Amino acid sequence: MLHEKIGQMLLLGWQGAGAQGVNAQAAALVDELAAGGVIVFTRNVGTPEELRETITSLQARSLALGAPPLFVAVDQEGGRVSRLGPPHFFRPPSAREVGRTGDPGEARAAARAIAGQLRPLGLNWDFAPVLDVNNNPRNPVIGDRSYGDDPQLVAAMGIAAVRGFQEDGGILACGKHFPGHGDTDTDSHLALPRIAHGRDRLGQVELVPFRAAIAAGLAAIMTAHILFPALDPALPATLSPRILTGLLREELDFQGLIITDCLEMQGVARGWGTPEAGMLAVEAGADILLCCHTWETQCALRDALVRAVRDGRISEARIDESVARIAAAKAKWVA
C-alpha cells in the first residue's frame, strides 16, 4: 500500500523513440514503480497514431493493476519548448510572440489550440503557462518562454492561458517556475541560481503572475530550483518549507498540486542528490516529484521515499495529504 501511495507522487519519463511504443522502461514505470504519471518528451513522439497508442497502452497497464489513471504530461509551451512539432504537429507561437500582441484573448486562443491538439492524443496535463517575468536579458533559459518583462502583462496573459487550457481545453495547466525564474543569469539545469531581491520586490514583480493565476483557478504549480535568500537563506524553492508551505500554501492560499521541476537537474541534484532532494521536497510540501530520464535514479528516488516513511522521517499522514490532492485532481481532469 505504501508503495502505491509513493508511486502516485511520482511523475516519470522514459527513454526511447516514439515508434517503439511502450518499451521496457516505460512499462516498468507503471508495473514496478507504480508511477502516478508520465511525461512525454520529443524522444517519445512518433506519429500522432503512435503516440496515442503508446499513451493508451500505458493507461491500460495502470488500470489493469487496479491503479488510478495516469497523469500524462508534456512541456508544450509553444515556440522552442514544444515537444510536439512538425512534421506531424503544429508548433504554437512562443509566449513572447503572444505577449507582444498585448491581447489576453490571443493567449487564451493559443492555449485552447494547444489543448485541442493534446487531449485527443491522451495527454491531460500541459506544463504551461510560464509565469516567469523575463526581466533579465542575460537569462539563458527563460527568454522568449515568458510573455514579457511587465508583471501585469504576464499576469493577464497567464490568467487567459489558464482559462484556455482548463475551461476551454479540459486539461490541467501548470504555472511555472515558482516563485519566479525570470531574473537569473544561470540555468537551473546546470547549476543553482540565486535571486537576491528582497521580499517586497519579489511581491511586486515575481509573485504577481502567480497570485493572479491562483485566483483564476490554476490547477498546478511547478517549483523553481532557485535560492531566494530573502525567503529561505539555506534551501532552494523546491526544497523549502518556507516557500512551498509558508508562502505558496499558507500566504497565497494555493490549494492545487505542487510539482517539482525535474529532480535530475543540477540545480538540486548537484548539491543534494536526487533521492535526498525528493525527500526534502516532500517535507517542504510538494505533492508530485518529477524525474524525467534515468531508470536507476527513478528507482533510487522511490526507494528513498519508502524508507523515509518506514523510518519515520516522513509521516504517512504527509503522504496521504498529497495522495488525496492527487486523487481529487485526477477525478476532475483525468477520469
15: phi > 0 → left, psi -120 to 50 → alpha, else beta; which? beta
Give the separation between CA 22 and CA 56, rounded to whole angstroms: 10
The catalytic residue among 144, 183, 232, 261 is: 261
Give the separation between CA 14 and CA 44, rounded to whole angstroms: 8
Which residue bears the cell 517549483?
223
Three-state SS at 72: strand
Grid coordinates representing 126 are 500541459
Residue 200: what residue type? D
The catalytic residue among 88, 189, 197, 293 is: 189
**Is 181 considered catalytic here?**
no
For residue 52, report the phi and psi dihedrals to the nearest 5 degrees: -60, -40
Encode burial over 295-325: b for 16+ CB neighbours within 10 A, e otherwise. Answer: bebbebbbebbbebbeeeebeeeebeebbeb
**Is 197 considered catalytic here?**
no
Biggest alpha carbon–alpha carbon distance for the chain: 54
* The dihedral sign for the CA sequence 130, 264, 288, 329: positive
Grid coordinates representing 170 are 479540459
DSSP secondary structure string for all residues of 157-216: HHHHHHHIIIIIT-SEEEEEEET--SS-SS-TTTS--B----HHHHHHTTHHHHHHHHHT
CA distances for 219 relative to 14, 133, 333, angstroms: 25, 20, 10
Sheet holding 37-40, edge to edge: 257-259, 220-223, 172-178, 125-126, 71-74, 37-40, 10-12, 289-291
Catalytic residues: 189, 261
